[in-house]
C-alpha cells in the first residue's frame, strides 16, 4: 500500500488529505486519486497566481491594457518630475549663477521633447507587457475552468452511479 499525504496551506489552517492508493484495485479508487490531484492543483493555482489572474478576468483586454498604460504614464510622469528636480538640485550652483543667461524657452521645449519620447517609450513597453500578461492569464484561466468542468463532470458521474445503486 502506498500512502500520499497532500498538505494544502491556506493562511493559518492546514488541511491534510490522506489518501491510500493500492495497486490492483478497481477504477473508482484511481479516479479518486486523480480527483484529489486535480483539486490540489486547482487549490494551489487559486492560492498563488489565481488571485491576480481572476482579477484580470473582470476586464476586457483593451480595458486592462489601457488601465495598465495609464498607471504607467502616471508613474513615469512622477519619476520624470523627480529626475528633473534631482538634476536641478545637483546643478543649483550653476543655475543660480546663470539665472539671467538661460534660454528658458529652449530648455522647456527640450524637456518637453524628452518627456514625450520618455512617455512614448514607456507606454509602448507597458502596452506590450500588459497585453502579454492578459493573454497569459486568460490561457491559465481557461485551463482552470477546464479542470473545474472536468471535476464537475466527475461529480455528476458519481451522482448518477450513486442514484442507480
State the angle between helix axes of 61-90 and 104-164 in degrees (0 to 180), rounded to the nearest 10: 150
- Distance between CA atoms of 160 and 140, rounded to whole angstroms? 30
- Distance between CA atoms of 148 and 155, rounded to whole angstroms? 11
Please report, for the chain, the start and end positions of each structural domain, with discontinuous segments joined by +. 1-48, 59-142
Residue pLDDT tens, the chain, 165 long: 444 444 444 433 333 334 334 344 444 444 577 777 777 777 776 777 777 777 788 889 999 999 999 999 999 999 999 999 999 999 999 988 988 888 999 999 999 999 999 999 999 999 999 999 999 888 888 887 887 888 787 777 777 777 766
Say if CB 4 and CB 19 are below 8 A apart: yes
Q: How many CA atoms lie within 13 A of 51 on its CB side?
A: 3
Say if CB 30 and CB 139 are below 8 A apart: no
Q: Using CA of residue 85, residue 86, residue 87, residue 91, what is the dihedral sign?
A: positive
- Distance between CA atoms of 37 and 54, rounded to whole angstroms? 21
Amino acid at each position: 500500500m502506498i500512502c500520499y499525504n497532500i498538505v494544502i496551506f491556506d493562511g493559518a489552517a492546514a488541511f491534510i488529505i490522506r489518501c491510500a492508493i493500492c495497486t490492483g484495485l478497481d477504477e473508482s479508487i484511481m479516479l479518486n486519486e486523480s480527483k484529489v490531484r486535480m483539486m490540489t492543483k486547482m487549490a494551489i493555482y487559486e492560492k498563488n497566481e489565481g488571485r491576480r489572474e481572476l482579477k484580470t478576468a473582470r476586464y476586457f483586454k483593451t480595458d486592462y491594457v489601457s488601465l495598465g498604460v495609464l498607471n504607467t504614464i502616471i508613474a513615469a510622469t512622477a519619476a520624470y518630475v523627480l529626475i528633473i528636480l534631482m538634476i536641478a538640485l545637483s546643478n543649483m550652483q550653476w543655475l543660480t549663477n546663470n539665472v539671467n543667461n538661460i534660454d528658458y524657452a529652449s530648455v522647456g521645449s527640450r524637456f518637453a521633447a524628452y518627456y514625450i519620447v520618455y512617455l512614448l517609450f514607456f507606454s509602448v513597453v507597458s502596452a506590450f507587457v500588459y497585453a502579454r500578461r492578459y493573454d497569459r492569464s486568460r490561457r491559465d484561466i481557461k485551463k482552470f475552468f477546464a479542470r473545474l468542468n472536468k471535476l464537475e463532470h466527475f461529480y455528476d458521474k458519481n451522482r448518477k452511479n450513486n442514484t442507480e445503486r
